[in-house]
């Protein structure tokens, strides 16, 4: 355990097994909260700066 008395509980909003492994390896308490899949499509006329 790298971190002793960590006063916070992290919220991991990623389903990445590697990120979970890294946090667990550090001994950090975390809660896994995966947001529902949303529509991330944008109208083609939008420029990258507008997204």
For the chain, give every domain's residue range.
8-35
Answer whether residue 18 shows pLDDT above 90.
yes
Counting DSSP H helices and E strands in the chain, the numbers are: 1, 2
Tokens of 11: 């919220």
- The answer to whether 30 and 11 are in contact (CB under 8 A) is yes
The pTM (predicted TM-score) of the whole model is 0.56
Tell me 26's DSSP state.
T
CA angle 18-9-2, nearest 5°? Answer: 60
How far apart are the C-alpha atoms of 2 and 29, rounded to whole Å? 12
> Of all residues in the chain, what percent carry a pLDDT higher than 70?
88
Higher pLDDT, 18 or 38: 18
Mean per-residue pLDDT over the chain, rounded: 84
> Of all residues in the chain, what percent carry a pLDDT higher than 90?
33
């Amino acid at each position: 355990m790298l971190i002793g008395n960590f006063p916070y509980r992290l919220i991991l909003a990623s389903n990445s097994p590697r990120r979970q492994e890294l946090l667990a390896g550090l001994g950090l308490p975390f809660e896994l909260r995966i947001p529902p899949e949303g529509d991330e499509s944008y109208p083609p006329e939008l420029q990258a700066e507008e997204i």
